[in-house]
Structure 1
Amino acid sequence: MRSDEQRPLGRPRASDQTQPTTESITEAATQLFTKNGYQTVSVNDVAKQCNVTKATIYYYFPSKAELFTETMVQMMIRIRKRINAMLHEPIPLKSRLYNITKTHLSATVDIDINGFMKGTTHTLSPEQLERINKAEMDMYQSIEQVFTHAMEQKEIREINPVFATHAYLSLLKVGNYNNEKQAKIYDSIDEMAEQIIELFWEGVQIKES
């Protein structure tokens, strides 16, 4: 019997894969879920997006809820790695934050975790919600740790690092604001990033008495 005939139902042929199938599925799911939200995206939509069968999706992910959970977790892991790399560049903290802010504002997708989670409370299991919550906390913890270190080094004043982290993240969300005409507050990403960092830095810098 040929090896193709021994494949479990839904499993793709090795020769058909140009990248790991789970990776291509979660990449496609990320695009769809972040653009359209959980409720409106179907497993069939994801299958069409990455050019596989619905059976293949279900081979790797037993449900839409599990696919969404893994998609969210992997997305936040990628963000955390990128943030970590930028946070540990050998330049002043203010410059590092500016680079992160500019990168965030340049992204094609607004990373709004709360927005993505709408409509999932009664669909995801407690374990799935916990996995997503932990990935989100790990993502933010990278910033908290750098703020804590900066306080120890007297680069910024001593405040609650959790508060400082979420104050910074809140300003990032403001940077994605569009008015009723879908226009940004500032004309350029550079100017918006500069304004966000100047406002944040005004609150955390050590001021001479």
Structure 2
Amino acid sequence: MKQSPRVLGRPRNDINAKPTKAVVLETATKLFIKEGYKNISMDDVAKACNVTKATIYYYYPTKGELYTSALIEMMNKIRQAIIRILEQSKPFKERLEELVEVHLSATVAIDMKNFMREATMNLSESQILKVHASENELYKTIQQAMQIEMEKGTIHQGNAEFFAHTFLSLMTVGYFKDGEGNRLFQTEAIAAKEIVDFFWKSVGK
């Protein structure tokens, strides 16, 4: 039987393997984390995935699109992890501590500030809007949890959005290193306890 011609650049399907698009995105994300946007080319991604550059362009027409997808995928994964932790039945303060510890442990190699800075410098306005929309969904997840706990009486009444942004800002302190590369907290567990204790003094009952 004569096979229909493939679209140029379209990868062959292998039902037993991880989808090529997923491999490309996963690999590109790791490369961007390690080397940054400017130091990684579409050629680099293709070589690391062991596919042609045409295959990369089939899924992602530009490096900006690939970078946008990488950022959104990272934030979606972070958001899903946050949801899983917040949906547990343990006390809210304990959930927050676990959230900080897990988040810091999972993202210690990711400089999100640098990611966002490179996004602002290199992405189109529409791409930046997509990234910010995904970032806002992450904030909303924390905000909704704060609102629920207010209604339960676990924390003081206030602006849930402000509480969420304050909490996430405090969490970034866990990444802090001085000029010699020394961390402010020796472990993620210590960071989580100190950060949540500080936050709880303002909102907890």
Instruction: Give me the identity figure in percent.
Output: 40
TM-score (norm 2): 0.91
Aligned partners of 2:160, 2:34: CA distance in 1, in Å? Answer: 31
Q: Which ranges in structure 2 are unaligned for 5 or more consecutive residues?
A: none
Matched AA of 1:179? D
Q: Matched residues in 2 for 1:132 and 1:59: separation?
A: 21
Q: Which residue of 2 aligns with 1:61?
A: 60
Cα distance, 1:108 vs structure 2:
4.8
CA distance 1:110–1:156, change in 2 (3 Å)? farther
Post-superposition CA distance 1:74-133 (Å, at most 9, x none): 221111111111111111110111111110121254554332022433532222111111
Aligned 8 A contact 2:108 2:175 in 1: no
Whether 1:117 and 2:103 are equivalent positions in the alignment is: no
1:95 maps to which residue? 94
Measured on the aligned residues, the alpha-carbon RMSD in Å equals 2.0
Paired with 1:143 and 1:121, the residues of 2 have a C-alpha distance of 24
Which residue in 1 is equivalent to 2:164?
165
CA deviation after TM superposition for structure 1 residue 155, in Å: 0.3
1:14-33 matches, within 5 Å, as 14-15=13-14, 18-33=17-32
In 2, Cα distance between equivalents of 1:133 and 1:30: 18
Change (3 A) 1:189 1:27: same
Unaligned runs of 5+ in 1: none
Tell me the distance in 2 between the aligned counterparts of 1:174 and 1:91: 25
CA pair 108-49 structure 1, distance change in 2 beyond 3 A: farther
8 Å CA contact retained: 2:10, 2:55: yes
Amino acid at match of 1:186: F
Change beyond 3 A, Cα 1:189–1:122: closer
Please give the alpha-carbon distance, in whole angstroms, between the structure 1 residues aligned to 2:2 and 2:120: 45
CA distance in 1, matches of 2:104, 2:112: 16
